[in-house]
């Protein structure tokens, strides 16, 4: 069975303290890996798509990377507005099924 | 504006009643999805549809039903057979099976 595991479950950071979130997967033949940000009571907001090992994407203070077994979301010099739950999802070939991990809740203190 | 609209935002249901959640998209996307989210947890897939008049069960389909009669609409019915329906329900759509999915703002269902 395909599995998506995110760690840690929660992360408390001081403003400016860089850190990384992990998304590991056991899907057979990854077709794409997606990162989302979710604020409380809202729908997830798309951040990045990664398709192949070695690929990297950046947006402001966020950078996503992908290996054959896992993806990292690096948060550089975070600000309080980066506080949210970050979700990753994986896509397998020949199927439209999109499976999510449980998420990492990031809290950035000023 | 293009997007995904879920309605209502809040819904209260009595035990034993069926209730239907609405999801409409004007993005001309082929695929649509329904997810359930419980407090402090990730998204669990209920049903998904790749094309009109076709849909597949996700990981937690028991107690739910869907239809896909039109490309832009994918309503979800929570039946009385769903033992613990109180949750946050999210609808999503995507253009192809490998592109990013876009989400609605969710419906919070509470059984009273």
Note the pLDDT tens digit of each residue in B30-69: 999 999 999 878 899 999 999 999 999 999 999 999 999 9
What local confidence, expressed as pLDDT, does residue A31 receive?
86
A103 touches chain B (CB under 8 A): yes
Please report residues of A whose CB lies closer than 8 A to that of B59: 99
Rounded distance between C-alpha atoms, residue B9 and residue A110, angstroms: 32
pLDDT at B92: 96
Cβ pair B97:A91 closer than 8 A:
yes
pLDDT at A28: 78
Whether residue B1 is predicted with pLDDT greater than 70 in this model: the reply is no
- C-alpha of B104 from chain center: 9
**Surface of A (7-66) touching B: CB under 8 A:** 31-32, 34, 36, 41-46, 49, 51
pLDDT digit string, tens, across residues A10-29: 999 999 999 999 999 988 78
The SS3 of residue B106 is: coil
């Amino acid at each position: 069975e395909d599995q998506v595991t995110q760690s840690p479950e929660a992360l408390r950071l001081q403003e400016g303290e860089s850190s990384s979130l992990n998304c590991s997967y056991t899907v057979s033949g990854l077709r794409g890996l997606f990162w989302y940000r979710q604020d409380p009571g809202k729908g997830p907001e798309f951040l990045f798509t990664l398709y192949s090992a070695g690929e990297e994407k950046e947006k402001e203070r966020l950078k996503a990377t992908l290996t054959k077994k896992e993806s990292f979301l690096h948060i550089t010099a975070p600000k309080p507005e980066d506080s949210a739950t970050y979700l990753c999802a994986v896509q397998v070939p020949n199927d439209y099924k999109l499976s999510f991990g449980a998420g990492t809740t990031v809290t950035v203190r000023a | 504006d293009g997007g995904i609209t879920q309605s209502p935002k809040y819904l209260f249901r009595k035990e034993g009643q069926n209730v239907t959640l609405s999801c409409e998209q004007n993005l001309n996307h082929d695929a649509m999805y329904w997810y359930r989210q419980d407090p402090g947890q990730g998204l669990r897939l209920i049903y998904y549809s790749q094309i009109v008049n076709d849909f597949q069960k996700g990981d937690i389909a028991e107690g739910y039903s869907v239809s896909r009669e039109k490309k832009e609409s994918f309503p979800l019915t929570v039946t009385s057979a769903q033992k613990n329906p109180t949750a946050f329900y999210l609808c999503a759509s995507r253009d192809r099976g490998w592109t990013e999915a876009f989400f609605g703002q969710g419906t919070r269902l509470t059984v009273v």
